């Protein structure tokens, strides 16, 4: 796992059965034992909202592209693992098909082929994740912030087709889902995962 050792995750989780999830609304954030974590967590939640909004834009564009490809007689075909050149040529044809949002997507792409909107979101998100994980949570609320950060740090685990890739990744993903459920949080990658 990036930015978090298994030992740290297991040690933090080991204390959970003895804890009840408290309501901290009545406690001022400045006096809270995890005040800095809660402050960073609020910032991460704002970036997370941008992350979700961007996922919706991308999903809409992918759907528009796939519909245009189907209309052009170029439906998505699975890669058979053998005919690389033919598959690559076919995908290049599909990439040239115009669709709603294609020009906007091109305008958001830098000279390296990276989407500048995603680069900005990720730069801010990973900076916050690093700062969050430098803290040591003292409360369930602080642990919830760190759980949210770890899920965001590994968002690709909840992408379509991510399940079944590696047993240790699947176990970590399932554990994080259980931890988030226990903590009564639903980070964006979990709420956004394909049905």
Q: Are 68 and 99 in contact (CB under 8 A)?
A: yes
Q: Summarize the confidence of residues 5-18 as an average pLDDT.
A: 42
Spatial CB neighbours of 98, under 8 Å, sequence gap ≥ 6: 68
Give 164's pLDDT tier (boundaries 50, 70, 90). Answer: low
Report pLDDT digits (tens) over 135-149. Answer: 999 999 999 999 999
Per-residue confidence (pLDDT) for residue 194, from 0 to 100: 74
For 103-117, give one letter per residue: b (16+ CB within 10 A) or e.
Answer: eeeeeeeeeeeeeeb
Rounded Cα–Cα distance for residues 93 and 90 (Å): 5
Alpha helices in 30-185 (DSSP H): 35-71, 84-96, 102-107, 116-134, 140-153, 167-183
Residue 18 has pLDDT above 60, yes or no: no
Rounded Cα–Cα distance for residues 124 and 136 (Å): 21
* CA 19 from centroid of its chain's CA atoms: 27
DSSP state of 97: S
DSSP state of 155: G
Q: Are 148 and 141 in contact (CB under 8 A)?
A: no
pLDDT: which is higher, 144 or 163: 144
Task: Please state the domain extents for the chain.
Answer: 6-191
Residue 64 has pLDDT above 80, yes or no: yes
Rounded Cα–Cα distance for residues 173 and 190 (Å): 10
Residue 184 has pLDDT above 80, yes or no: yes
Residue 20 has pLDDT above 70, yes or no: no
pLDDT: which is higher, 21 or 28: 28
Per-residue confidence (pLDDT) for residue 161, from 0 to 100: 57
Q: Are 185 and 147 in contact (CB under 8 A)?
A: yes
DSSP state of 32: S
Per-residue confidence (pLDDT) for residue 51, from 0 to 100: 96
> Which of these ranges, 41-50, 138-147, 150-159, has the smallest mean pLDDT?
150-159
Give the containing element (helix H, strand E) for 8: helix 6-14
Q: Are 155 and 189 in contact (CB under 8 A)?
A: yes
């Amino acid at each position: 796992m990036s930015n978090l050792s298994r030992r740290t995750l297991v040690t933090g989780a080991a204390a959970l059965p003895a804890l009840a999830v408290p309501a901290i609304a009545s406690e001022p954030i400045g006096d809270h034992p995890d005040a800095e974590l809660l402050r960073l967590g609020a910032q991460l939640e704002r970036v997370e909202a941008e992350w979700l909004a961007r996922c919706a834009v991308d999903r809409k564009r992918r759907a528009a592209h796939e519909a245009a490809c189907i209309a052009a007689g170029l439906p998505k075909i699975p890669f058979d693992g053998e005919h690389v050149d033919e598959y690559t040529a076919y995908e290049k044809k599909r990439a040239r098909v115009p669709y709603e949002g294609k020009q906007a997507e091109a305008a958001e792409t830098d000279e390296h082929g990276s989407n500048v909107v995603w680069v900005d979101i990720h730069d801010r998100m990973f900076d916050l994740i690093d700062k969050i994980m430098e803290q040591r949570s003292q409360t369930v609320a602080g642990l919830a912030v760190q759980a949210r950060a770890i899920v965001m740090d590994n968002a690709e685990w909840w992408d379509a087709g991510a399940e079944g890739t590696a047993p240790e990744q699947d176990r970590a993903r399932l554990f994080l889902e259980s931890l988030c459920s226990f903590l009564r949080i639903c980070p964006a990658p979990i709420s956004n995962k394909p049905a």
